[in-house]
């Protein structure tokens, strides 16, 4: 009967992002390949972060520091990804389904962001998700009515979408760092903010996880609006 939890959590965590993937990206070979490449970049960033974590022998009390360098490394690799994509941009745009569309670059950013996010979601959430098939649960510390699986599912869902929008915004910022520097600042700060907000999940705060969800949702909404604005600006 715990398959209920499994499917519930799987759909919560990955449903929205997979819907995005299958309805927008999956048809386009180019975007799928981009997605895999960006997933690869995210993986490198997290491997570096985890190596630092491993060799510094951090424990739970040092989580704030862990978050700091993990986030910064991700942003760094986002920038690397941008640099590499920019080199290939010419070819990519030409080879895209609609080479004259001005939104190709945004589409690349979207696909890369989804790749970043999905990989993030998979790596951080796949083990809890698989374990949720079993009957055993642990309750979330700050919200004793929710299981750790479900809280994690919501966080994962939000983070995948956040990563997607961050990528769009960051590409916009990287493209013209002098004029659009505030995009980069927003991406880094909101990423840090979102990560720190998740610390409330297991903190001794009453309904702490709700606080985390709300902060992340607000950040997500702002980011979506901002990225829509960038799209409109392109025109």
Partner 1 sequence: MYISILLKEILFISLFMHLVLSQDTEFKKVFYKKLLPVPCVRILNSTSVTGCQSLKPTSGLLILTETQDLLNDFIKSDRKGKYVVILPYELMTNDNLRSLESSGKMSGVLALINGTDPSSPNSAPIIQRPINFSPDEKCPNCQFGLYRNDESRYIWNPNGLGIIQERYDFPIFALYPFDKASNNSYNKIINGVQFNERRSYERFPLKAVEFDALMFAAIDASTCLRRNFCSPVGGHSVYSTPSIDMNENDGKPIIIVSAAMDSKSLFQGITLGLNNGISGSIALIAIADALSRSPTPVKNFQKHILFTSFAGEPWGFLGSQRFVKNIFEPFNCIQNKTKPTQSCGYNTGQSGGCTFPCFRDLDFKRINFSNIDSIIELSSVANGISLGPGNIQQFKYFVHVDNENNAGNRLLMQGLGALSGGIGVGFVRNASEDGVFRKLPPSSSMAFLEKNINIPAVVISDFQANLSNYYNSEYDDGSDLDVSTIISSICTIANVTSQAIWLHAQNILSPTSPTANTPISVNCTLVGLLLDCLTVDASCSLFDAFRRSKDDRISHYTGVYQQTSQQLLSRFHYNVLGSINANIISDRKCKNETDCQFGEICTNLHCASSFTRYHDSYGAGLEFIENGDMIVVDPEKATWVESVWSDFDFNLFNVTSIGSQVSELMTGILLTGLSIVSVIFGKKYVRKTLKLD
Partner 2 sequence: MSNNPNSNLQDTNNNVIETSTNRTTGDSTNTTEENPTSTLGNINTSTLELSDITIHACSNCGEPAQYLCIACGQSGPRYCSSKCQSEDWTRRHSTVCSKVTLAGQINEEGGDEEIATVRKPNSKVHGRGNIAQIINKRKTNIQRGNPISPSSTTDPSFTGQEPLSTSQFDEDQVDEFKFYMQQIYKIIKPVVLCILLSVLWVKISILAPNFRPQRPTQQFIDTSDDTSESAQIFNSFLAAAVIIGNIIIVTIIIVCLFKYGFIKILIGFFMVVVLLLLGFMGYLLILTILQVLQIPMDYITLSFALWNFAAVGLISVFWKGPLLLQQTYLTIMSSLMAFSLTNLSSWTTWILLALLVIWDLVAVLCPFGPLRILVESSRNDKREIPALLYSVNAVWFMASPSLSNQFTSSSLNSVRQSLSSASSFQVTVGEEIPLSENIRYNHGEGGVSGESNENLSQIPRRQSSSLQPRSQPPNNDSFEEEEEEDERSGLKLGLGDFVFYSVLVAQAALFDWITTVACIVAVLTGLNTTIFLLAIYKKALPALPISIAFGMLFYFVARNTLVPYAQSLGLSLIAV
Q: Specify the stretch interacting with partner 2 by CB under 8 A; choose among 15-23, 156-164, 182-190, 219-227.
A: 156-164
- The least distance separating partner 1 from the CB of residue 80, rounded to whole angstroms, comes to 28
Among 32, 133, 205, 211, binds partner 2 (CB under 8 A): 32
Report helix, strand or coil for 147.
strand
Q: Count CA atoms within 13 Å of residue 152 on its CB side.
A: 24
Name the strand (E) or helix (H) holding 69: helix 63-95
Residue placing its CB nearer to partner 1 in the complex, 61 or 145: 145
- Max CA pair span of the chain: 56
Report helix, strand or coil for 199.
helix
Structure tokens at 166: 């961050």
- The least distance separating partner 1 from the CB of residue 3, rounded to whole angstroms, comes to 6
Q: Specify the stretch interacting with partner 2 by CB under 8 A; choose among 2-10, 177-185, 198-206, 219-227.
A: 198-206
- The least distance separating partner 1 from the CB of residue 146, rounded to whole angstroms, comes to 8
Angle at 82 between CA 154 and CA 171, to 5 degrees: 65
- The least distance separating partner 2 from the CB of residue 215, rounded to whole angstroms, comes to 12
Rounded Cα distance, 228 and 235, in Å: 11
Measured in whole angstroms, the distance separating CA 133 from the mean position of its chain's CA atoms is 24
Q: Count CA atoms within 13 Å of residue 117 on its CB side.
A: 30
Q: Which residues make up the interface to partner 2 (CB under 8 A)? A: 27-30, 32-33, 36-37, 39-40, 43, 46-47, 49-51, 53-54, 58-60, 63, 66-67, 70-71, 74, 86, 89-95, 97-102, 104-105, 119-120, 122-128, 130, 140, 148, 151-152, 155-156, 158-159, 175, 194-195, 198-199, 201-202, 209, 234
């Amino acid at each position: 009967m715990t398959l209920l939890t499994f499917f519930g959590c799987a759909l919560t965590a990955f449903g929205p992002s997979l819907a995005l993937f299958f309805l927008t990206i999956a048809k386009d070979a180019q975007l799928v390949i981009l997605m895999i490449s960006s997933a690869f970049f995210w993986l490198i960033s997290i491997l570096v972060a985890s190596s630092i974590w491993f060799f510094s022998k951090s424990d739970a009390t040092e989580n704030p520091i862990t978050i700091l360098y993990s986030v910064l490394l991700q942003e760094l690799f986002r920038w690397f990804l941008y640099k590499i994509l920019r080199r290939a941009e010419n070819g990519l745009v030409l080879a895209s389904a609609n080479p004259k569309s001005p939104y190709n670059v945004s589409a690349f950013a979207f696909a890369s962001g989804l790749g970043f996010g999905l990989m993030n979601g998979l790596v951080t959430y796949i083990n809890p998700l698989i374990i949720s098939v079993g009957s055993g649960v642990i309750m979330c510390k700050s919200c004793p009515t929710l299981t750790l699986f479900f809280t994690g599912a919501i966080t994962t869902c939000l983070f995948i979408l956040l990563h997607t929008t961050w990528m769009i915004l960051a590409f916009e910022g990287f493209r013209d760092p002098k004029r659009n520097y505030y995009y980069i600042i927003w991406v880094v700060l909101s990423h840090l903010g979102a990560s720190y907000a998740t610390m409330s999940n297991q903190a001794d705060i009453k309904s702490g996880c709700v606080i985390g969800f709300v902060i992340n949702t607000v950040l997500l909404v702002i980011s979506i609006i901002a990225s829509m604005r960038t799209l409109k600006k392109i025109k």
